[in-house]
């Protein structure tokens, strides 16, 4: 597809505007010159008419008429082709002179100024016709002064051609100039695109230089830089994520290798080998669970949404999750209470997984003998599931990042070998798969973690499906953190 450059467009628009303006102006000039030339011709006719008409008017006989003829012949020869005099009458004796025009009809000849075409000249004749009343023997006659417009028309033609020449020359110059000016004016845009072309892959910290840009391009460049910045963050997350995955898998692999090498260092009896295999199996299971979690998260990242939705009482589902998590709670003599109930369409399997992660965390971080509370509530189309427990305040900088994969407040503490920091990332993914998001609060000694689900009111299930199908929102929020 052919692309027209902005300078090209601007020049074209300028050119059309200029041509329009100059043409209008030139036409106006030409017509005002023509009307002033016509004024001059009329003046000339009036002067000549006023010199002769009174004289002719007082000639009332055929005898005197020869004087008239003579006078007019002299005048005509003095003015050569410029002015012609003519007297028309119904009586042949009173006719004087002739004109280089087709026959003039006495009766239809208009009084005053008129223009008639010349026979062998494109320039017309300008005439002033005056009817002179009968006197004595003389009948009524029409006295005509005719002016050849050729000299005036050639002035007009000369003026027109010099006007056309100067307009074309001026226009070409201005159009050329406007092309260069627009090119000059668009230099920052070219500079910007050169900069963008120059952005090298693998250097995510590069930005476009915005200081020297004009305001129109400034906001574009700032937006572009914003996109680059988000790319950089995503790139860094990806990089650290790779490092995290490698790191998390290295420990169980090292354990496996170490134990196996130790076992092989001498001969082992069957029970010893059995114990080794059991321990190895445990490590392998842990690795499988990390890999499964990673796979689950990557599906959520790719915009997958919950599909197996069914309407359930969240309280009943929470009780089922409790059954599963009960041993961890009992270990620390923790009590669980569930406040409220909401009926919502959820993927039960995903809901259990998210809630179990939250309850496991609660059980791990709540002080022995305290209570873990699940609060179920809804607000408009949003259902909220919150799990709170007593605990040390969590700093804001951590709260913002806890939903990132592998992020832990203190990775060295709390059995990091067993816990990889994927639980809350999964909660966030489940929330996103239901069109909601995860949140974390730490207030007045209570830490609350939870997530929201978007539910459609009864009969509007398709809306929920639409909300869930919005993969862009999903992918966007997984990389961020959902803090309500």
Report the nearest approach of ligand ATP to the CB of residue 417 (Å). Answer: 10
Q: Which residues are CB-contacts of 217 (< 8 A; sequence separation ≥ 6)?
A: 188, 189, 192
Q: Which residue lies nearer to ligand ATP by CB, 124 or 252? A: 252
Selection from ligand ATP, Mg ion, none that 305 binds (CB < 5 to 8 A by kind) is: none
Q: Which residue lies nearer to Mg ion by CB, 305 or 357? A: 357
Q: Which residue lies nearer to ligand ATP by CB, 124 or 421? A: 421
Q: Which residues are CB-contacts of 37 (< 8 A; sequence separation ≥ 6)?
A: 152, 153, 155, 156
Neighbours of 427 (CB within 10 A): 30
Beta bridge partners of 86: 144
Q: Which residue lies nearer to ligand ATP by CB, 182 or 481? A: 481
Report the nearest approach of ligand ATP to the CB of residue 449 (Å). Answer: 5
Selection from Mg ion, ligand ATP, none that 217 binds (CB < 5 to 8 A by kind) is: none
Report the nearest approach of Mg ion to the CB of residue 401 (Å). Answer: 14
Characterize 317-350 residue by residue with b for buried, 16 or more Cβ atoms within 10 angstroms of its Cβ, and e for exposed: bbeebbeebeebbeeeebebebeeebbbbbbbeb
Selection from Mg ion, ligand ATP, none that 447 binds (CB < 5 to 8 A by kind) is: ligand ATP
Q: Which residue lies nearer to Mg ion by CB, 309 or 359? A: 359
Note whether 318 and 374 are within 8 A (CB): yes
Note whether 442 and 399 are within 8 A (CB): yes
Helix (H) or strand (E) holding 378: strand 371-379
CA torsion through residues 91, 93, 96, 98, sign: positive
- Applying CB under 6 A, which residues contact ligand ATP? 357, 361-362, 365, 389, 391, 394, 402, 408-409, 419-425, 447, 449
Report the nearest approach of ligand ATP to the CB of residue 321 (Å). Answer: 15
Selection from ligand ATP, Mg ion, none that 482 binds (CB < 5 to 8 A by kind) is: none
Selection from Mg ion, ligand ATP, none that 420 binds (CB < 5 to 8 A by kind) is: ligand ATP
CA distance 387 to 364: 13
Selection from ligand ATP, Mg ion, none that 354 binds (CB < 5 to 8 A by kind) is: none
CA distance 347 to 4: 53
Q: Which residues are CB-contacts of 144 (< 8 A; sequence separation ≥ 6)?
A: 85, 86, 87, 88, 99, 104, 109, 127, 128, 129, 130
CA distance 300 to 405: 13
Report the nearest approach of ligand ATP to the CB of residue 372 (Å). Answer: 8
Closest residue to ligand ATP: CB criterion: 423
Q: Which residue lies nearer to ligand ATP by CB, 357 or 383? A: 357
CA distance 87 to 69: 9
Q: Which residue lies nearer to Mg ion by CB, 256 or 425? A: 425
- Candidates 182, 305, 361, 389; binder of Mg ion (CB under 5 A) is 361
Report the nearest approach of ligand ATP to the CB of residue 216 (Å). Answer: 45
Report the nearest approach of Mg ion to the CB of residue 427 (Å). Answer: 9
Report the nearest approach of ligand ATP to the CB of residue 287 (Å). Answer: 13
Report the nearest approach of ligand ATP to the CB of residue 474 (Å). Answer: 19
Selection from Mg ion, ligand ATP, none that 408 binds (CB < 5 to 8 A by kind) is: ligand ATP
State the Rg of the chain over Cα.
51
CA distance 370 to 390: 7
Selection from Mg ion, ligand ATP, none that 409 binds (CB < 5 to 8 A by kind) is: ligand ATP
Q: Please state whether 427 falls in left (phi above 0), alpha (psi between -120 and 50) or beta.
A: alpha
Selection from Mg ion, ligand ATP, none that 381 binds (CB < 5 to 8 A by kind) is: none
Q: Which residue lies nearer to ligand ATP by CB, 301 or 409? A: 409
Stretch that binds Mg ion, among 61-69, 86-94, 358-366, 461-469 (CB under 5 A): 358-366
- What value, to the nearest 5°, has the Cα angle with vertex 86 and ends 80 and 91? 150
Note whether 144 and 128 are within 8 A (CB): yes
Q: Which residue lies nearer to ligand ATP by CB, 300 or 422? A: 422
Would you call 484 helix, strand, or coil by DSSP? Answer: coil
CA distance 326 to 360: 10
Question: By CB under 5 A, is residue 362 in contact with Mg ion?
Answer: no
Site size for Mg ion (CB under 5 A): 2
Selection from Mg ion, ligand ATP, none that 421 binds (CB < 5 to 8 A by kind) is: ligand ATP
Report the nearest approach of ligand ATP to the CB of residue 192 (Å). Answer: 42
Map the footprint of Mg ion across residues 411-470, applying CB under 5 A: 423
Residues contributing to the site for Mg ion (CB under 5 A): 361, 423
């Amino acid at each position: 597809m052919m692309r027209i450059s902005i300078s090209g467009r601007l020049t074209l628009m300028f050119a059309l505007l200029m041509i329009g303006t100059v043409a209008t102006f030139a036409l106006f000039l030409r017509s005002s010159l023509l009307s002033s030339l016509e004024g001059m011709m009329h003046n000339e006719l009036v002067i000549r008419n006023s010199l002769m008409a009174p004289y002719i008017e007082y000639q009332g006989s055929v005898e005197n008429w020869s004087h008239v003829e003579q006078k007019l012949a002299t005048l005509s020869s003095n003015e050569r082709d410029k002015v012609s005099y003519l007297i028309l009458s119904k009586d042949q004796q009173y006719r004087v002179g002739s004109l280089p025009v087709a026959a003039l009809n006495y009766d239809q000849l208009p009084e005053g100024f008129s223009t008639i075409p010349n026979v062998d000249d494109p320039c017309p004749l300008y005439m002033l016709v005056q009817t002179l009343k009968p006197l004595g023997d003389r009948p009524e006659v029409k006295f005509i002064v005719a002016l050849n417009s050729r000299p005036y028309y050639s002035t007009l033609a000369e003026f027109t051609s010099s006007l056309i020449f100067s307009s074309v020359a001026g226009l070409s110059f201005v159009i050329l100039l406007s092309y260069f000016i627009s090119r000059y004016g668009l230099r920052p845009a070219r500079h910007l695109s050169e900069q963008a072309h120059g952005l090298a892959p693998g250097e995510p910290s590069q930005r476009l230089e915005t200081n020297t840009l004009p305001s129109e391009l400034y906001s574009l460049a700032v937006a572009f830089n914003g996109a680059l910045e988000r790319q950089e963050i995503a790139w860094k997350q990806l990089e650290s994520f790779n490092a995290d995955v490698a790191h998390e898998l290295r420990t169980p692999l090292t354990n496996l290798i170490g134990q196996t090498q130790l076992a092989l260092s001498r001969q082992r009896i069957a029970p010893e080998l059995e114990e080794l295999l059991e321990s190895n199996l445990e490590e392998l299971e842990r690795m499988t669970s990390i890999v499964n979690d990673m796979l689950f998260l990557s599906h959520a990242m790719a915009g997958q949404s919950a599909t197996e939705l069914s309407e359930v009482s969240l309280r009943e589902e929470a009780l089922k999750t409790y059954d599963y998590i009960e041993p961890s709670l009992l270990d620390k003599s923790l009590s669980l209470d569930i406040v409220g109930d909401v009926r919502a369409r959820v993927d039960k399997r995903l809901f259990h997984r998210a809630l179990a992660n939250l309850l496991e965390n609660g059980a791990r971080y709540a002080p022995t003998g305290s209570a873990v509370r699940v609060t179920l509530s809804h607000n408009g189309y949003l259902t909220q599931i919150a799990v709170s427990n007593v605990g040390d305040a969590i700093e804001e900088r951590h709260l913002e990042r806890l939903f990132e994969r592998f992020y832990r407040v203190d990775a060295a503490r709390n059995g990091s070998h067993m816990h990889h920091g994927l639980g809350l990332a999964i909660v966030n993914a489940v929330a996103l798969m239901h069109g909601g998001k995860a949140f974390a609060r730490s207030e007045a000694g209570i830490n609350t973690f939870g997530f929201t689900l978007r539910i459609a009111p009864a009969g509007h299930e398709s809306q929920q499906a639409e909300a869930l199908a919005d993969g862009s929102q999903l992918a966007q929020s997984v990389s961020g953190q959902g803090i309500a």
